[in-house]
Amino acid sequence: MSATPDPGEDRRAAAWRIAGAVTDPEIPVLTIADLGVLRDVRVGDGPVEVDITPTYCGCPAMNMIAVEIELALEKAGFGRPKVNTVLQPAWTTDWMSEDGRAKLKDYGIAPPPKGGGRRALFGVDTVPCPQCGSIDTGVIADFGSTACKALWRCNACREPFDYFKCH
């Protein structure tokens, strides 16, 4: 570590904050920082470079997210940024922040469990109802309103809800 302050650091933090505030068009309460889609921001002499990793289900939305990032950074005076799509390592729901999980639940979508949620895909795990918290729930359809969501129903409050599937 160098003792001299890095003059690029403040700009990088600002660029990170601005890029990270872009929201997912499918789930507008979540930012790409919440989702863990924003992987890196590099600020140097050239254009600002932003790395994003698509969620496994969000491919059509990713083009829109990339454009939103470019516009947001340009508006903030960062010139014309370069947005890279990084596919490896693949995005996992574990990258979703605690904040993001809480927002998802408030939005009425059951968030994926942290860590190794794959079991939930096979119906081994229980998915608590985002409305009443009951774990007496069951899957209705493997695909909900979008491919990344499954449609579940709570047997306690009888309300259907979306479940953000793990991957």
Determine, following the binding rule CB under 5 A, whether residue 154 of this chain makes contact with Zn ion: yes
Query: CA gyration radius for the chain?
Result: 18
Determine, following the binding rule CB under 5 A, whether residue 156 of this chain makes contact with Zn ion: yes
Determine, following the binding rule CB under 5 A, whether residue 148 of this chain makes contact with Zn ion: no
CB of 109 to Zn ion, least distance (A): 13
Q: Based on the number of CB atoms within 10 Å of its own CB, is 95 exposed (0-12), middle (13-18) or buried (19 or more)?
A: middle
Q: Which of 21, 26, 157, 160 is the binder for Zn ion (CB under 5 A)?
A: 157
Determine, following the binding rule CB under 5 A, whether residue 131 of this chain makes contact with Zn ion: yes
Distances in Å between the alpha carbon of 87 and those of 35, 119, 145?
Answer: 15, 23, 24
Q: Which of 134, 139, 151, 160 is the binder for Zn ion (CB under 5 A)?
A: 134
Phi/psi at 10 (5° precision): -65, -40
Distances in Å between the alpha carbon of 159 and those of 26, 36, 115, 153, 166?
Answer: 21, 29, 27, 6, 21
> Cβ closer to Zn ion: 21 or 156?
156
Sheet with 149-154: list strands edge to edge: 109-110, 160-164, 149-154, 137-141
CA nearest neighbour of 21 among 35, 4, 3: 35
Determine, following the binding rule CB under 5 A, whether residue 129 of this chain makes contact with Zn ion: yes
Determine, following the binding rule CB under 5 A, whether residue 146 of this chain makes contact with Zn ion: no
CB of 22 to Zn ion, least distance (A): 32
Given the rule CB under 5 A, which of 43-51, 59-67, 111-119, 151-159 is the region that contacts Zn ion? 151-159
> Cβ closer to Zn ion: 44 or 138?
138
Interacting residue ranges for Zn ion, rule: CB under 5 A: 129, 131-132, 134, 154, 156-157
